Structure 1
Amino acid sequence: MTDRQENAISDADRADARTIWDFHQMGHELRPCSAAIALGSLDLGVAGTTADLYHAGMFPVVVFTGDTSAATKERFPRGEAIHYREHALSLGVPDEAILLEPKASNTGQNIGFSREVLENAGIAVTTVLLISMPYMQRRAYATCRQLWPGVEPVCVSQPLAFDEYAKTHDDEKQFIDMLMGDMERVMEYPKRGFAIEQHVPERVGDAFERLRARGYDSWLLPA
């Protein structure tokens, strides 16, 4: 991170970003599920967390889902799902416990295509462990509830606090921008039929508006 980027991010900005970060956490109690879906992203920690949870007996089979995107094409040139699978295999997850879904390009497709993969494999699912980046939990939950209403989602992520997770990004500004992008999608996607409606507390909405006014908008939806 450059000095200019560091100086541009104020303590007030970080406080607002933490408010949004906290809202993204679903706070679900971890428990064994019928299957897991590991949602593709730029964070290889999702695959590491998946391996930990498999070894803890939280699920018998996982779908790694995701193609490449603008955010991941350099880090995962062969596709998010493929790189996740390889990392999980290196951490001792057996190949027979892994299903691959390499085509999804958004969260709706992550859920919908993974559902098809599980159904085609003959796996009956009543509960699904959604493993994602920490700030993707709420959007993953809302999407799953909309697209797969007969299944109970349990959301989990790598157990890192805001400050710890921010340090895993080279560009803190971009990290906050991405938090903002997920927040806007939580608010806007129900109107488009992509996700269920969720109550957004006033303090969260206010934090979002302050950050948008400060220029944290590069991952927001096109106008």
Structure 2
Amino acid sequence: MNEDVRRAARKLWDFHCIYDALGPADVIIGLGSYDIRVALRCAELFHAGHAPRIVFTGASGNWTRGLFPGREADAFREAAERAGVPAGAIAVEAEATNIGENIRFSRDLAPGARDVILVTKPQTQRRCRATMDRQWPEVRAAITAPLTAYEDQPLPHHDERALICEMVGDLRRFRPYAELGFQTAVAVPDEVAAAADLLVDAGFTDHLPKEALGG
């Protein structure tokens, strides 16, 4: 992978990552995915006393079918329990198939919550922020993720190419998803948009929304 591609990818990575300051919360919500490190980050925050309970959310998606024995939320719950989180402190929502559903369905399991910590993959933080602001605006939400560097984020089942395609695809979803009411609008700096254009021209198009592919 050439250096121009990596520089562009890091530009997107830096934009997608948020890492809000964290304080006490009513609940930690861990978004299911192919990255089990999210569950371990939730366990870490629980043990640090940030919140007394965790909700794991997620069914199975294109990137996790066959990866776990069951659904994402169940795999994350098991990982958190192995990391010492009591079973009674965990709730599972295993029907959501996208970020909007992750948030709406988790909201139903956290009635009365005012402060929420949302834990996702590093490169999904900005999309989660925009979705949270639209789907659950009445809470104070802090967005965070595993403290993973770009070079350590690729996994055997989701390599660097897949990571780059994911970041490009999420960036290109910001405008249409805001227009559809799924999330709030996200202002994309010109240099970030240019980096995404470079990556699209270089063929990192596997995760583009259908409308960007003319479908």
Q: TM-score, normalised by structure 2?
A: 0.94
Alignment of 1:60 onto 2:48: no
Q: SS of 1:22's equivalent?
A: helix
Deviation at 1:130, TM superposition (A): 0.5
Aligned partner of 2:164 in structure 1 is 176
Equivalent-residue separation in structure 2 for 1:113 and 1:215 (angstroms): 35
Deviations 1:159-191 (A, max 9, x none): 111112136665321121111122222333111
Residue segments in structure 2 that go unaligned for 5+ positions in a row? none
8 Å contact from structure 2 (residues 19, 145) kept in 1: no
Q: What letter corresponds to residue 37 of structure 1 in structure 2?
A: I
Deviations 1:124-172 (A, max 9, x none): 2111101000001011111011011101110111111111213666532
Residue segments in structure 1 that go unaligned for 5+ positions in a row? 1-8
Give the one of 96, 99, 104 matched to 1:107: 99
8 Å contact from structure 1 (residues 68, 77) kept in 2: no
How many residues in Structure 1 have an aligned counterpart in Structure 2? 211
Equivalent-residue separation in structure 2 for 1:149 and 1:170 (angstroms): 32
Is the deviation greater in 161-170 or in 129-138?
161-170
Q: TM-score, normalised by structure 1?
A: 0.91
8 Å contact from structure 1 (residues 169, 175) kept in 2: no
Equivalent-residue separation in structure 2 for 1:143 and 1:170 (angstroms): 24
Q: What letter corresponds to residue 129 of structure 2 in structure 1?
A: Y
- Structure 1 pair 118–205 and aligned structure 2 pair: CA distance change class (3 A): same
8 Å contact from structure 1 (residues 145, 195) kept in 2: yes
- Percent of paired sites with the same residue: 36
8 Å contact from structure 1 (residues 133, 157) kept in 2: yes
